[in-house]
Structure 1
Amino acid sequence: MRKLTLGIGLALAASPSLALAQIESPGSPAALLADLRTDAVPIEFVQPPDVGFLKAEDATRTEPGPLRYGALLPVDINPAENGVWDQLSDGSMVWRFKVYSPGAKSIGLEFSDYWIPEGAEIFLYDDTLEQVHGAYTSINNQPHDQIQFAPFPGDSVIFEYVQPADVDARPRLELGTVIYDYMDLFALEAELILENEGQGIGAGACDVNVNCPEGDPFPLQKRSVVRTLSGGGLCSAVLVNNTAGDQTRYVLSAWHCGQSSNTVFRFNYQTANCTGGSAPTGQQVSGATQLVSNQASDGRIMRINNNIPASYNPFYAGWSRSTTNPSFAMSMHHPGGGPKQIAIDGNGATKANVNIGGIGVVPSWRVVFSPGTTEGGSSGSPLFDQNDRVRGTLSGGPAGTCQAEGFYARLYDFWNNVNIAQYLDPLGSGATAIDGFDPNNPGGGGGTFPDITSISPTFITAVNPTSPVSVTLTGTGFEDITSVEVNGVPLSAFPPEFSVPNDTTLVVTLQPPYNAGTINIKAIEGTQSDNIDLSVTFNTTPTIDLVSSDPNFLLSAFPLEIYMGGFPGDSHFLLLSTSLIPSTVPGIFSAGIGNNLTNLFGLGVFTVNPATGYAKVEGPFTGIPTGTKLYFQSGVLSAVLPSLPLTMSNIESGTVLF
């Protein structure tokens, strides 16, 4: 057994685009829109670390792990005790504070408690507002209620939180750590890009860009390999498929990379052509759930928390836990944290047990690349076999420049050491290998996802006497739908509120109320979904709806609910009777109930709300004998052209059960 150094994420890379680690939305900070002065923001001074000591420590460091680029400085900053609140003319509230730590090349903010409500926004900017990052919205909330904002250049940054007046929920914002960059990440990434223009990062001509001819046979694999940034260290990783083919965002990497829940995943970071060119840096997603890791097999599986934007064009790589030596071996990776490279061993891989410093003896696949090499930052990158399936992830190799030898921790040992089948084989199929999944070609990758093309009817009215209303969605990929949401609220599976007659038809039952505007219906299959809007219009004629009307029953244990629709401002004079014999008051109204006014009761006058499209009455009813049938009707006075006699609505009836 040979003792080798770690092929770990040691080199550093960052750029102003690192702020895109969080998904940005359109918007402008209140400091610009409301002309709030930046020099009025309270300064939170953070004592700088001993940079000389840190660099000396780095130079003698022998323990494995990503190379440190920044010092983690504990702080305690929150809206109740720090910063300043401003109220804008529209009622919005703005909280701001400024972090200042002299000498820092960039400032990173890591929140130990983080959640903001829908409608709120966050921005980061400098004193002159020349550099602004954001808006960051609730789409960046994480399941673990934490977040790390990627480095902001310079030794100070202003944090701005904006809460609109109509948002009641309060945020949770507790800044626990300031990351003091003493290595200048932005300069390092710029240097890496320039070196890559000369065909090589550090190792010079030994590196081969994935967009060179050597990478042309592997267009799908290129889309699966990502760079990770976590805790100041850089590694490589791969997005992998599972037996359900449901696009769950599983990422396979190396245990020794040590990625945290605040890991930033960068997609498609590769040069435009073989000899260089631009390399996109803005395709990033942050936040992950750590699922399982194992030191003995140097393996780690994470799940990316947020959806991967379709524009990133991800591919979910296939994998194999075969014990047979691959007859061909290929790796894609991010050496030095730079643009994606490729390395090939046309002779395949052999087994080796390798003593890797900081890990121990790792059962590995041994490869000797030609062309290509690996470096710091390549750790965690996948090794693909002759069937384009992942066989393992990079653990290490000999130190030095242009080292062709590499050792990849074997996937089958990781599988045997810990229960990763629960993630990669959720169907319990026992599969030893699966192909990749391409969302652009789901039929060729094992699985489909919902695609809604139309809805019928295309609109409903705010009040519908036949409620609940059923609508039919047509499209493809409905058979494996796992849930349906209406305006973000999951529908009930029992009693059923949606059904899937076939793969092209989805029937959704909508319970009242139906607010004027739009209803968003989302069909969900695993991590994939599609949605469509259903228009809700005002009733053009006076209409009432008795919830649980015949042929259902009214239960005295539940409130009586009646919705009354019409044009905004219309007044409904609601009537009740147990008789279907009409009642008429000449020139006033002519009702279809009430037995010549002898069995007619007025329940009040109710005005149609322009915001919802209906008026509503709700209240208990008791003491009515079982089997009694109640009839409801309203006379309506128009708000636009008020005149008599009143226009009468439809009649709704309900039978009292008990």
Structure 2
Amino acid sequence: MNRLLAALGTLMALISATAAAALPMAVTDERAVAESVAASSAMPLVYAVGLAPSLAEIRGDSGGVSIFSAGAKTLGLRLQVHHWPQGEPLYWQSEGLSEPHVITVHEGQPQWLPDVPGELATLTWSSDALPENAVVSLELVYHGYEDVQGFTSKAAGDSGTCKQIDVACPQANAWGNPVRATTLITVGSGMTRAVCSATLLNNTANDQRPLLITARHCSVTPGNARSVNAVFNYQRSVCMGANDGNVSRDVVSGSTWLAESVQADTTLVVLNSPVPRAFNARFGDWSAVPAAPLSGVSVHHPNGDQKKISLFDGPATINNDVRVNDEGGLLGLDRFTVDAWGVRWREGTTETGSSGAGLWNQNGVLVGVLSGGSSSCSNPTGTDLFGRLSVAWDESAGIRNALDPVSGGTSRASSGQNATGALGSAGDAVDGGSGGGHFGGISLLVLTVLLGIARNRRRGWGFGNPAR
């Protein structure tokens, strides 16, 4: 069996390379890449830069396009599709994926495709069903220059130089729902792509509407919310084990901005597609009651790493109008203020990329989102600041109404009845991710490549410390 799998892997690599060579190729300019990376290096949440490719439009009858950006650790795309039949998907893949992302097309709208590993990738489709004027417009190629999402292995597989706690470790055993509700998100902001943490939340209707809460300084806005890619289950299966987190297929792409709270540094969006049941996600419970948590955890993705957990014994402290330095951040502000819960960790810490992660109290209920702090690998006993959900609730009618559609924003806590699997069924295709990806027992990677051949041949607290 091992020999068969090895042979199949070799065959797939050969087929992929052959198909890529047969497709038109869009490339980025190496000098432009270097200049863009240098310009974004002071932005702590950014891991990729967007550049215009050498080919702007690809005819439908070409069957696809190869994307190449020299030295990239990951590749992403922003594109638009025109004159495309309803139901005809795109397939987005690279050699580092066992299966492609299956992309649901939205005619004439910008779409942000998930990251794939490596400097060479292919976007393919079936040209047989396309009209003569079908076209794919490539707007940006996102060149990933940081080791985000573990596509490029790190020496110890962890986020920083300190010991972070995997959610597969015993410390997380009692926190299953917060772990399953936590996601890594990527956000397209102008000519860059950034990474943060977020949480899937319940509402009082218990209708499994896929609400995501994150930090406002992660810069999800009404204009770019469609660029959000939410990555579920990116975590080790064994405590301090191999880097086997599933980052390549448990992805839901696209969201709609709902509301924000400036004073609580909080943003709420709703995903544009249901979360497939196969992801085994959970909808987190929440409380906007202004009661300090006595103990609890935060679950997060530091530096875009596989999911970690940090634990505190509390009680949390109230910190109002605290200045958080956001120099070089996505909001374009030198600093902002936040009304926050302050916590000190008993185990673990947070880092850049942990921004937006939930603060869960002793009852497993979310009461805030990570905004800034002085805790770090070099200062694990520093204080971290979480924008208080009670403040966001009081400030934002949009947040109140989305979380409490039943009582019109008057009930300050969820019912605790909906910590169950998400809507959708195993194998559902979503807007830019794949919840399954097999067809008749054949990997879609092999299938689509064969078709192609046949056709063509952080954060920080106080002055001078960056936001998470």
Question: Within the alignment, does 1:174 sit opposite 2:150 as a pair?
Answer: no
- How far the C-alpha of 1:324 sits from its partner, in A, is 2.0
- The one-letter code sitting in structure 1 at the alignment partner of 2:245 is A
Aligned residue in 2 for 1:145: 109
Alignment deviations for residues 514-551 of structure 1 (CA, whole Å, 9 cap, x no partner)? xxxxxxxxxxxxxxxxxxxxxxxxxxxxxxxxxxxxxx
- The one-letter code sitting in structure 2 at the alignment partner of 1:201 is S
- After superposition, residues 224-235 of structure 1 pair within 5 angstroms as 224-231=181-188, 232-235=193-196
Structure 2 CA distance for partners of 1:412 and 1:160, relative to 1, 3 Å: same
- Three-state SS of the structure 1 residue aligned to 2:196 is strand
Alignment deviations for residues 609-633 of structure 1 (CA, whole Å, 9 cap, x no partner)? xxxxxxxxxxxxxxxxxxxxxxxxx
Question: Within the alignment, does 1:337 sit opposite 2:315 as a pair?
Answer: no
Aligned residue in 2 for 1:256: 217
- How far the C-alpha of 1:393 sits from its partner, in A, is 0.2
Task: Name the CA distance, whole Å, in 1 between partners of 2:259 and 2:135.
Answer: 28
Between stretches 294-303 and 117-126, larger displacement belongs to 117-126
- How far the C-alpha of 1:314 sits from its partner, in A, is 1.4
Structure 2 CA distance for partners of 1:316 and 1:202, relative to 1, 3 Å: same
Structure 2 CA distance for partners of 1:49 and 1:68, relative to 1, 3 Å: farther
Work out whether residues 115 and 172 of structure 1, in 8 Å CA contact, stay in contact via their aligned partners in 2. yes
Task: Name the CA distance, whole Å, in 1 between partners of 2:89 and 2:424.
Answer: 31
Question: Within the alignment, does 1:70 sit opposite 2:48 as a pair?
Answer: yes
CA-atom RMSD in angstroms: 3.6
Aligned residue in 1 for 2:405: 426
- How far the C-alpha of 1:133 sits from its partner, in A, is 5.4
Question: Within the alignment, does 1:409 sit opposite 2:387 as a pair?
Answer: yes
Aligned residue in 2 for 1:274: 239
Aligned residue in 1 for 2:428: none
- Three-state SS of the structure 2 residue aligned to 1:174 is strand
* Identity over aligned pairs, percent: 25
Task: Name the CA distance, whole Å, in 2 between partners of 1:178 and 1:273.
Answer: 34
Structure 2 CA distance for partners of 1:311 and 1:245, relative to 1, 3 Å: same
Aligned residue in 1 for 2:206: 245
Work out whether residues 110 and 176 of structure 1, in 8 Å CA contact, stay in contact via their aligned partners in 2. yes
Aligned residue in 1 for 2:28: 46
Work out whether residues 241 and 250 of structure 1, in 8 Å CA contact, stay in contact via their aligned partners in 2. yes
- How far the C-alpha of 1:283 sits from its partner, in A, is 1.6
Match of 1:265 among 222, 230, 235: 230
Relative contact order, higher structure (CA 8 A, sep 6+): 2
Structure 2 CA distance for partners of 1:53 and 1:418, relative to 1, 3 Å: same
The structure richer in strand per residue is 1
Work out whether residues 210 and 340 of structure 1, in 8 Å CA contact, stay in contact via their aligned partners in 2. yes
5+ residue gaps, structure 2, are 1-11, 327-334, 426-468
- After superposition, residues 371-386 of structure 1 pair within 5 angstroms as 371-386=347-362
Work out whether residues 73 and 151 of structure 2, in 8 Å CA contact, stay in contact via their aligned partners in 1. no
Work out whether residues 125 and 133 of structure 1, in 8 Å CA contact, stay in contact via their aligned partners in 2. yes
Aligned residue in 1 for 2:79: 111
Structure 2 CA distance for partners of 1:326 and 1:216, relative to 1, 3 Å: same
- The one-letter code sitting in structure 2 at the alignment partner of 1:97 is V
Task: Name the CA distance, whole Å, in 2 between partners of 1:57 and 1:118.
Answer: 40
Structure 2 CA distance for partners of 1:119 and 1:78, relative to 1, 3 Å: farther
Aligned residue in 2 for 1:95: 63
Task: Name the CA distance, whole Å, in 1 between partners of 2:134 and 2:357.
Answer: 38
Task: Name the CA distance, whole Å, in 1 between partners of 2:421 and 2:64.
Answer: 46
Task: Name the CA distance, whole Å, in 2 between partners of 1:168 and 1:55.
Answer: 39
Alignment deviations for residues 540-575 of structure 1 (CA, whole Å, 9 cap, x no partner)? xxxxxxxxxxxxxxxxxxxxxxxxxxxxxxxxxxxx
Task: Name the CA distance, whole Å, in 2 between partners of 1:201 and 1:143.
Answer: 38
- How far the C-alpha of 1:122 sits from its partner, in A, is 2.4
- How far the C-alpha of 1:44 sits from its partner, in A, is 3.6
- The one-letter code sitting in structure 1 at the alignment partner of 2:203 is N
- The one-letter code sitting in structure 1 at the alignment partner of 2:196 is C
- How far the C-alpha of 1:289 sits from its partner, in A, is 1.1
Aligned residue in 2 for 1:622: none
5+ residue gaps, structure 1, are 1-28, 86-92, 443-448, 452-658
Structure 2 CA distance for partners of 1:46 and 1:132, relative to 1, 3 Å: farther
- The one-letter code sitting in structure 1 at the alignment partner of 2:160 is G
Structure 2 CA distance for partners of 1:390 and 1:149, relative to 1, 3 Å: same
Structure 2 CA distance for partners of 1:374 and 1:208, relative to 1, 3 Å: same
- The one-letter code sitting in structure 2 at the alignment partner of 1:216 is N
Structure 2 CA distance for partners of 1:311 and 1:144, relative to 1, 3 Å: farther
Work out whether residues 80 and 107 of structure 2, in 8 Å CA contact, stay in contact via their aligned partners in 1. no
Task: Name the CA distance, whole Å, in 2 between partners of 1:217 and 1:37.
Answer: 48
- Three-state SS of the structure 2 residue aligned to 1:348 is coil
- Three-state SS of the structure 2 residue aligned to 1:204 is coil
Alignment deviations for residues 149-204 of structure 1 (CA, whole Å, 9 cap, x no partner)? 23344444443231444x6697563221112234465776411xx524xxx53142
Task: Name the CA distance, whole Å, in 2 between partners of 1:43 and 1:441.
Answer: 41
Task: Name the CA distance, whole Å, in 1 between partners of 2:99 and 2:364.
Answer: 39
Task: Name the CA distance, whole Å, in 2 between partners of 1:316 and 1:115.
Answer: 37
Task: Name the CA distance, whole Å, in 2 between partners of 1:380 and 1:428.
Answer: 26
- Three-state SS of the structure 2 residue aligned to 1:318 is coil
TM-score, normalising length: structure 2: 0.73
Aligned residue in 2 for 1:390: 366
Task: Name the CA distance, whole Å, in 1 between partners of 2:400 and 2:78.
Answer: 33
- The one-letter code sitting in structure 1 at the alignment partner of 2:162 is G
- Three-state SS of the structure 1 residue aligned to 2:30 is coil
Task: Name the CA distance, whole Å, in 2 between partners of 1:406 and 1:431.
Answer: 28
Larger Rg: 1
Match of 2:177 among 199, 220, 231: 220
- How far the C-alpha of 1:221 sits from its partner, in A, is 1.7
TM-score, normalising length: structure 1: 0.53
Task: Name the CA distance, whole Å, in 1 between partners of 2:22 and 2:251.
Answer: 33
- The one-letter code sitting in structure 2 at the alignment partner of 1:107 is L
- Three-state SS of the structure 2 residue aligned to 1:71 is strand
- Three-state SS of the structure 2 residue aligned to 1:214 is helix
- How far the C-alpha of 1:370 sits from its partner, in A, is 0.2
Aligned residue in 2 for 1:204: 162
- How far the C-alpha of 1:257 sits from its partner, in A, is 1.1
Task: Name the CA distance, whole Å, in 1 between partners of 2:230 and 2:347.
Answer: 27
